[in-house]
Amino acid sequence: MSDITDAARAILAFNDRGGYTVPTDALYPFQWNWDSAFVSMGFATFNIDRAYQELERLIEGQWDDGMLPHIVFHVPSDTYFPGPDVWNTHHRHHKKPTTSGITQPPVFGMALRYIYEIALTEGREDVLARTRLLFHAALRSHRWWMKVRDPEKRGLVAILHPWESGSDNSPAWDEALARVSTITKTEICRQDTKHVSAAMRPHHADYQRFIHLVEVYRECKWDPVKQWSAAPFKVADVQMTAILARATADLIWIASHLNLLDEINELSTIHRILLDGLRGRWRNNLRGFVSLDLISGKDIQKPTQAYFIPLIAIELDTYQHEAVQDEIERWCNGMIVGVPSTAPFSSDFESKRYWRGPVWAVINWLIVDGLCKNHLAELAAIIEGNTINAIERAGFREYFDPITGEGLGGNSFSWTAAAYLVLRH
């Protein structure tokens, strides 16, 4: 085992708060939804029990209606804003711990399959009951997605808050977010810029809008039907839909192993619906998949990494195959490390500002996976190699400047460590 693999494992140990992992110390002091799913896969490369535990701790926060919240506040901390009092979700979730009121990409199902497969190769029949329990939690969350976030039956699931996408200040949300008021009742006490330079974080006006949205939904008492009608921000997101579709395929795989026939049928229907929805979002002229602004009714054409995430779920046709390869190569041209989260030729590109340009190891992990699934192994190997090199050069940082390779944002980052372990596995 290399020293760097050792260092990656040490980061997961350092960020362990008792069966769950914080994304990084201080900047993000709670359990985040999709971070933990990625992290559980990192653990699975060397400690199956700890991998299962990560997901088990996450579902402690699952709501009665099936939603898996984006943050679980297991223990109090004053180093992050907004904390539990701003969300005020207590009445939606009667058990402890308290949680935020929105969700995040459902990588959970992908993670469960990944760790279950490793457990099987290790001959761990004892994980069956744990797998079944987590499978049912995932299934309840997929039902929630379909019912609550695609009520108009487009085959695409919607986000009601940019934080749900996990790509918070992506240029993809600019137009839709500009319609949201900057007025807030809550005082905005940002903590993030105490840990990380403001130049690498969202702007103040973004935060005002993020908090305004929280207030709108809090006034709906977090009732999903009321939120759907009140939402001033509503986007059918291709990245979210692709992750949900892929996680659904992974749950079907698990259900087949567990011989759960009714569940296989139910999930297969969901899978078909989502694939149809995704296929309709391809645009030849843009050489990628685009999200849909449900308030303006318009395509979101901004070139972001989301263009390529559907590859994890669908098989491209011959034309798309070539187009995607050319387009990814174009975005990476001249970069020390690709794939940038915003195309470098776009006027929105900022190489150091969070989701407006920097490279994220977990996004590359998804892109590599999607390229392999679509028989583009050579390009996948290049991106995988660049990601590993970037981490080895700059450390386990939150994100990387694609032009210089510099490490940015938080340090000793859990999902970057997990990405390293999985890509190296």
Nearer to ligand 9WN, 211 or 323 (CB): 211
The residue behind tokens 């779920």 is 313
Residues of span 152-211 touching ligand 9WN by CB under 6 A? 163, 166, 168, 192
Asked if 409 touches ligand 9WN (CB under 6 A), the answer is no
Residues of span 64-123 touching ligand 9WN by CB under 6 A? 70
Q: Which two tokens stand for residue 221?
A: 């008492």
Q: How many residues bind ligand 9WN (CB under 6 A)?
A: 10
Catalytic choice (168, 192, 250, 401): 168
Other CB atoms within 10 A of residue 300 CB = 23
> Using CA atoms, how far apart are residues 308 and 370, in angstroms rounded to an integer?
8
Other CB atoms within 10 A of residue 398 CB = 24
The residue behind tokens 């490490």 is 407
Minimum Å gap between C-beta 409 and ligand 9WN is: 9
Minimum Å gap between C-beta 382 and ligand 9WN is: 24
Residues of span 270-309 touching ligand 9WN by CB under 6 A? none
**Crossing angle (nearest 10°) for helices 261-279 and 238-258:** 160
Nearer to ligand 9WN, 34 or 289 (CB): 34
Minimum Å gap between C-beta 80 and ligand 9WN is: 7
Residue 168: active-site member: yes
> Using CA atoms, how far apart are residues 409 and 169, in angstroms rounded to an integer?
14
Please calculate the CA angle 307-412-47 and round it to the nearest 5 degrees.
Answer: 90
Phi-psi region of 18 (alpha: psi -120 to 50; beta: other; left: phi over 0): left
Catalytic choice (250, 266, 398, 401): 398
Nearer to ligand 9WN, 130 or 149 (CB): 149
Nearer to ligand 9WN, 321 or 395 (CB): 395
> Using CA atoms, how far apart are residues 75 and 93, in angstroms rounded to an integer?
16
Binding-site string for ligand 9WN from residue 32 to residue 61, where x marks contact by CB under 6 A and - marks none = x-xx--------------------------
Residue 192: active-site member: no
Minimum Å gap between C-beta 296 and ligand 9WN is: 24
Q: Give strand pairing partners of 21.
A: 16
Minimum Å gap between C-beta 23 and ligand 9WN is: 3
Q: What share of the chain is helix, strand, coil (3-state, %, to 5)?
A: 55, 10, 35
Catalytic residues: 168, 398
Footprint on this chain of ligand 9WN (rule: CB under 6 A):
23, 28, 32, 34-35, 70, 163, 166, 168, 192
